[in-house]
Homo-oligomer: A and B are copies of this chain.
Amino acid sequence: MTLVVETTDEAVDGIADGSTVLVGGFGMAGMPVDLIDALIRQGASDLTVVSNNAGNGDTGLAALLAAGRVRKVVCSFPRQSDSWVFDGLYRSGDIELEVVPQGNLAERMRAAGAGIGAFFCPTGVGTPIAEGKETREIDGRTYVLEYPLRGDVALIGAHVADRAGNLVYRKTARNFGPVMATAATTVVAQVGSVVEVGEIDPEHVVTPSIYVDRVVTV
């Protein structure tokens, strides 16, 4: 049952040290910046963060990294023009990195949410990404076996929620949100607004309420 909470502090309450946290967004679009700020205040440490990027500038995910709360980053594209916080931690050996092709990142979380035990994926065959992994030829094509990627918590950004927890997104800010919402035990969404149940057309719901645990307006 989705709980609409009043503050981002309530929204991130109870996230434990050592958690795997899925963080939505692609660049700043869909990035749950307010929830990340609350997570910094909340204090959980030794986190594994799964997100497409590894933080930009000095705010949001970069600030969480700078605060020393993250043990490992799982992402597709850490290196950006403004990823100096991550770059420094990586070069000093203070953070672990698992680079995952962007589609595998999405599909591995989708598998976690969909109860799939593992899947044979054509991406990365013959590349360093596939090193040490099981491969198999199926119908003349080679595939790599990839495993689900689950979160204890997902922090996502959406456009509008209803009080039941149904979510809609806006333009390319949709990106990883709907997938991460299926892949974590506890799903927290920061949204632009909360409307009454029935105000979102059932045909237009992108993330059904079953996936959402807490919603907070920012």
Contact = CB atoms under 8 A, between A and B. Distances in A.
Number of identical protomers: 2
A203 B118 contact: no
A170 interface: yes
Interface in A202-216: 202-204
Chain A interface bracket (under 10, 10 to 19, 20 to 34, 35 or more): 20 to 34
A138 B115 contact: no
Contacts of A203: 168-171, 204
A136 to B, nearest CB: 7
A143 B117 contact: yes
A178 to B, nearest CB: 12
Given A116-B119, A119-B120, A121-B116, A138 B143 contact: no
A129 to B, nearest CB: 16
A122 interface: yes
20 contacts: A107-B116, A111-B119, A115-B121, A115-B122, A116-B119, A117-B119, A117-B120, A117-B138, A117-B139, A117-B141, A118-B119, A118-B136, A118-B143, A119-B119, A119-B120, A138-B147, A168-B203, A169-B203, A171-B203, A204-B204
